[in-house]
Structure 1
Amino acid sequence: MSYTTDHVEVHVCMGTAGVASGGHEVMEALEAEFTKRGLKNAESKERNCAAKQTGCRGLCARDVLIDVYIPGKDPVTYEHVNAEMVPTIVEEHIVGGNIVEKWAAKADYFQFYDKQKRYVLADCGRVDPESLEDYIKLGGYEAIKKALTMTPEQVIDEVKKSGLRGRGGGGFPTGLKWTFCRNSPGDHKYLICNADEGDPGAFMDRSIIEGNPHAVIEGMLIAGYAIGCDEGYIYCRAEYPLAIVRVIKAIKDAEAAGILGEKVFGTDFHFKLKLKEGAGAFVCGEETALIASIEGERGMPRPRPPFPAVKGLWQKPSNVNNVETFANLPAILLNGSEWYANIGTEKSKGTKIFALSGKVKSTGLVEVPMGITVRELIYDVGGGIPKKRKFKAVQLGGPSGGCLTPDHLETPIDYDSLIAAGAMMGSGGVVVMDETNCMVNVAHFFLTFTQRESCGKCIPCRIGTKTMLDILTRIITGQGREEDIDLLLEVGNDIKTASLCGLGQTAPNPVLTTVKYFRHEYEAHIRNKKCPARECAELIEFVVIDDRCKKCGICKKACPVDAITWEKGTVAYIDHAKCVKCRECIVNCPFNAID
């Protein structure tokens, strides 16, 4: 959907990455420049210019990103903008009509979006996240108005026919989950939005809330009406301060407009919404632990059954969906279930948002149709592996997901295909690795996270993950034993079988899949005391290969402890007494000359 305006608008990315890169300074510079030139609040629409804050549009590594909208012309995007660039952009482009080509987005920027289908993220980058009026102007809250003309059963049936599955990781059919809660007896029911996004490298939910909080609120209104809930909570981790500020403002604005509270849009539907800040425990992403946290208890999972749909928050029937699930609902209601069901695959409908990171050229937030292949995501959307290195593996599904290999590049990204391959959809974290990544160390990294985040309630997770982590630590430090690989498999499978909640049941996945697909690396660490990827510091000593060294000095500049001696026209030399084995020389050498 295109964006049109009757005056000049400059959209500035003011998501977390945009703000961190200087978004506020760019906004201030634009406002100052417009005022100085008489372009602010001008009587002539052609000369009336405004700077507008928006949410993240995905390509965070290029921030600050700005879009220049001039009536009757195609929008132009500028990358890596700072306040010093603003006067030139205003002078040459907005006033003079000539695009500043040296700063304008190039082909790889547009390649990033070519295969995306941005429906949930459609208005991120266009709507002011702190403006209810702006959201309404772009069609906001029309979906809940439509839902209120239908019966709750009709709304649930529409969601069922759409094929929408929960985007929090489990992939349970959303409409069916709603039915369980609606059919549970009780005169008071709760609706909960899970925004406790704790996966390393994942920022999908944060960006949705920061960029378009009213879309989440509208989705919750639709769900609350369909299920019969009159009260809802958005559970958001406190580490998302910008998201929290914008959600609080959106709730207050919606209440003032009569969209939340008593008699929503003049009907008999009542819905109150509150924000609950979480303390950052990863386990609170599990719905029963999240419910315990809202109640003021320590965030620990509870045995199921009873399920939350029967006995949830304060023992009342409750429904929990994540941010992305709720944000899908307005488009489904407005465009119809058939429209949505035609996107994706037979069993995985719609689009999925991924946080693409690691060894890939274009990192950021992407929304792609279900069924896109791993290859398309990494090479077509992400632009491939930088520095002419080889793709080695991709971790799909966050710290509880699994690693896939080059043999899996044609695997469709949908719920069933990923599970069959040994990975999982998860909440949407995608970490790409190249030949410089050690898969044993990767498993150690992810298990360190899940072991630290274990709530400790059940023995298999509390003791089992610590046992596995101790074994991995032995292996990467050169103390591995011949029987360690089989022991990892045995303990990992026991943890998956016996753990109480999803954290423990999936925590061994990175270890099990790396053993399955990269067993030779484990064996090299144990038998040869070597790290094939040259990453495990205890097993390597850095040397420069004379016939590979191009005598460029890049490694010396990269070394943080001045352990490399180099003079122009000479081969570099590494002083092992100073070397701290940080790997910066290996990472930065484009000629693979450090071994």
Structure 2
Amino acid sequence: MKPTIVLVSVDSNSVLLGARQFVNYLRELIDKYNLKDMVEVLETGTMGVYTQGVLMAVFPDDVYYSVKTVQDVEKIVLEHLLKGRPVLSLEIPKEKLKVVVEKEKVSAETRIVLRNVGVINPKNIEEYIARDGYFALHKVLTQMKPHEVIEVVKASGLRGRGGAGFPTGLKWEFTAKAKADQKYVICNADEGEPGTFKDRLIMEGDPHSVIEAMVICGYAVGATKGYIYIRGEYYGSVENIQKAIQDAYEYGFLGKNILGTDFSFDLTVRLGAGAYVCGEETALLESIEGKAGRPRLKPPYPPTHGLFGKPTVINNVETFANIPMIILNGPDWFKSFGTPNSPGTKVYSLVGNVVRRGIVEVPMGTTVRDLIYRFGGGLVGGKELYMVQTGGTAGTFIGVDKLDVPLDYDSFAKYGVSIGSGVILAMSEDVCPVDVALNTMQFFEHESCGKCTPCREGTRLAVQILERMSKGQGKKEDLETLKEIAKVTQEASLCGLGQSINVPLLSILQNFESDFLAHIGAKSCPRGVCEFVTPQKKKVKV
């Protein structure tokens, strides 16, 4: 008789909701009621989007629960595991289950990056291998030459999923052609943009896919060393990646003479200290080298002059996670998803006022409307949608008139809607665009490294103007000044941080200009949302 499997989502978001406590209590109860021979508890990554509790699934019954308290855990053990009766009060309704576990639009066939997330135990390498893990690496090392690997990646049309969308195969080719005694492969896991957490959940749920892809990349470009640069605050990601690296060495997927071949590759984790600017590839290189994380002048570029001055490939987590499936299934298979110019899928972080927050993976070309209403379940409380930021803090602010824009790498040029890092921040009628713009520019001011004047002074000046405007003290000319700041920072800033400020600033000014104009000279927020900061009363001497 096969044991009952209880699968529990123990990603970092679930841990904040009590997942670790629930798992420990679940195991205690299983011991207490002598169910160890009949019930097995397994931990996994995120199961997709979040309800208000921790997702717990019971197989083979195929029942999913939303657990909020230890009392809920006890009910599941006493009723379902002992008596075989599902706890209806905790069960996720079937109509919601289709979206929660991606059984509708995001089917198994479209889950390329998230194919193992929420399915396997990320700390068990054998579960990864059982789902064709490291098969792509074996194929590459035994059946393909380095240039053939690059040609497959180029033919797939895979573009960088970190936001820039640069062709991945072309980047690999630049490094492969560079002459050097040492080359490097780096995974940029310094995910510092507010609202973006897809890479964190990928690493927590399927760390081996990233490792396998980096080894494949190393073989293709002639690199023998790699680094995964992770934000130090990503405790779950760091723990799972380090465990996966250790296991990969033990199983012969890392180290010398991998799989009995002449190819060797070593992999190390480096922790970031929480600087958003270190997500910029040259600042990241400086940080790994032990220097202050500030951008370098370009050219030269990392593919030829990267880490320690050597040729270096830098891709982000999501980009790497696509590689094993492309190798196994071929470029034509990958191009069967998405659009002609943006093949494949994209993982989105759904945040803000949506009912169901979390990550979903959909084909390129999916609309903003589908992401918010089909996968996100609409807005909390049935409120009206007022504005959306797509692509993260450095992305675009749009109104409801652009909800049917298909998201791909052409959507920004065609419709002014950015795909960026994959954030969909939905905001209801309870937000004020002026307040949102101020919050956004405060972030950029805080995260500017200060190395170049346009970014350092431009962000500071923009914050000062928006602070006045948020209090009703702005002038119409301030809008033109903000647009000028956006233009100057884009053209004159040293790195992508300053250069990207124009995207959120210009888009919110253009699409919500009436809100900014209404704030000028107002005594209170015209939308009745944000609170004006009134001057402090003078102290009266007694």
The separation in 2 between residues aligned to 1:293 and 1:426, in whole angstroms, is 23
Whether 2:416 is the aligned partner of 1:422: answer yes
Mapping for residues 487-498 of structure 1, pairs under 5 Å: 487-498=481-492
User: How far is 1:230 from its partner?
Assistant: 0.3
Which of 144, 149, 153 in structure 2 is aligned with 1:155? 149
- Find out whether 1:401 has 2:389 as its counterpart: no
CA distance in 2 between partners of 1:471 and 1:420 (Å): 30
1:135 is aligned, of 119, 124, 128, to 128
Confirm or deny that 1:99 pairs with 2:92.
no
Is the CA contact 1:402–1:423 (under 8 Å) kept in the aligned structure 2? yes
Task: Say which SS state the counterpart of residue 158 (structure 1) adopts.
Answer: helix
How big is each residue's C-alpha offset from its partner over 1:64-97, in whole Å with a ceiling of 9 and x where there is no partner? 1111112xx4x11101243322333233323433
Aligned to 1:45: none
Aligned equivalent of 2:286: 292
State how far apart, in whole Å, the 2-side matches of 1:87 and 1:471 are. 55
- The equivalent position to 2:515 in structure 1, one of 516, 521, 542, is 521
Match of 2:113 among 102, 111, 120: 120
Deviating more after overlay: 60-69 vs 528-537? 528-537
Q: Deviations over 1:451-506 (max 9, x none)?
A: 11011111111111111111111100121022111111112111111111111011
Select the residue among 250, 264, 267 that pairs with 2:261: 267
After alignment, is 499-508 or 20-29 more displaced? 20-29
Partner residue in 1 for 2:30: 34
Query: Could you tell me which of 31, 42, 46 is aligned with 1:56?
Result: 46
Task: Give the greater-gyration-radius structure (CA).
Answer: 1
In structure 1, the residue corresponding to 2:238 is in which secondary structure?
helix
Distance 2:452 2:416 in 1: 25
Deviates more, 1:251-260 or 1:276-285: 251-260
Return 246-255 or 318-327, whichever deviates more.
Answer: 246-255
Which residue in 2 is equivalent to 1:546?
none
Query: Is the 8 Å Cα contact of residues 138 and 259 (structure 2) preserved in structure 1?
Result: yes
**Which residues in structure 2 correspond to 1:45-444 (within 5 Å)?**
48-70=38-60, 73=61, 75-106=62-93, 107-112=95-100, 113=102, 114-116=104-106, 117-148=110-141, 149-444=143-438
Match of 2:450 in 1: 456
* Contact 1:343–1:349 (8 Å) recurs in 2: yes
2:472/2:521 contact within 8 Å kept: no
Residues in 2 aligned to 1:98 and 1:336: alpha-carbon distance in whole angstroms: 45
Please tell me the residue identity of whatever aligns with 2:31. Answer: T
| Cα distance per residue 1:146-183 (max 9 Å; x no partner) | 11121111111111111110011100010011000100
Secondary structure of the 2:482 match is helix
- Mind listing any 5+ residue stretches in structure 1 that lack a counterpart? 43-47, 541-576, 578-595
Distance 1:23 1:400 in 2: 32
Q: How many pairs align?
A: 528
Partner of 1:535: 529
Runs of at least 5 residues in structure 2 that lack an aligned partner in the other structure: 538-542
Task: Tell whether the 8 Å contact from 1:13 to 1:63 is kept in structure 2 after alignment.
Answer: no
1:512 corresponds, among 497, 506, 515, to 506
Measured in 2, the distance between the counterparts of 1:325 and 1:99 equals 40
Q: How far off is 1:447 after superposition? A: 0.9
- C-alpha distance in 1, partners of 2:465/2:505? 11
Superposed CA offset, 1:306-328 (max 9, x none): 10011000000001000011111
* Contact in 1 for aligned 2:407/2:417 (Cα 8 Å): no
Structure 2 distance, partners of 1:166, 1:518, is: 30
Q: Could you tell me how far apart the structure 1 residues matched to 2:119 and 2:84 are?
A: 22
Residues of 1 paired with 2:133 and 2:416: CA distance? 40
State whether residues 360 and 432 of structure 1, in contact with CA within 8 Å, keep that contact through their aligned partners in structure 2: yes
Q: What SS does the aligned partner of 1:483 have?
A: helix
Say which SS state the counterpart of residue 393 (structure 2) adopts: helix
Letter in 1 for 2:271: E
Instruction: Give distance in 2, aligned partners of 1:383 and 1:86.
Output: 26
* Cα distance change of structure 1 residues 255 and 95 upon mapping to structure 2, 3 Å threshold: same
Residue 282 of structure 2 contacts residue 296 of structure 2 at CA under 8 Å; is this kept in 1?
A: yes
The one-letter code matched in structure 2 to 1:380 is R
2:460 aligned residue: 466
CA deviation vs aligned residue, 1:248-279 (integer Å, no higher than 9, x gap): 11111111221100011111111000000011
Q: Which residue of 10, 18, 38 corresponds with 2:6?
A: 10
Question: Any conservation in 2 of the 1:482–1:527 contact (CA below 8 Å)?
Answer: no
Computed over aligned residues only, the root mean square deviation of the Cα atoms, in angstroms, reads: 1.7
- CA distance in 2 between counterparts of 1:401 and 1:497 reads 17
SS at match of 1:415: coil
Farther off after superposition, 354-363 or 170-179 = 354-363
| 1:9 counterpart letter in structure 2 | I
Letter in 2 for 1:82: T
Aligned to 1:379, what secondary structure does the other structure show?
helix
TM superposition shift of 1:413: 0.7
Letter matched to residue 201 of structure 1: G
C-alpha distance in 1, partners of 2:52/2:359?
12
Letter in 2 for 1:365: I
Partner of 1:549: none
Is the CA contact (8 Å cut-off) linking 1:58 and 1:366 kept in structure 2? yes
1:21 aligned to 2:17?
A: yes
In 2 relative to 1, CA 271–226 (structure 1 residues): closer, same or farther, beyond 3 Å? same
- 8 A contact 1:399–1:447 mirrored in 2: no
Alpha-carbon distance in structure 1 between the residues aligned to 2:21 and 2:488: 53
Residue identity matched to 1:59? V
The 8 Å contact of residues 404 and 421 in structure 1, kept in 2 or not, is answered as: no
Q: What is the TM-score with the length of structure 1 in the denominator?
A: 0.86
Aligned pairs for 1:543-554 within 5 A:
none
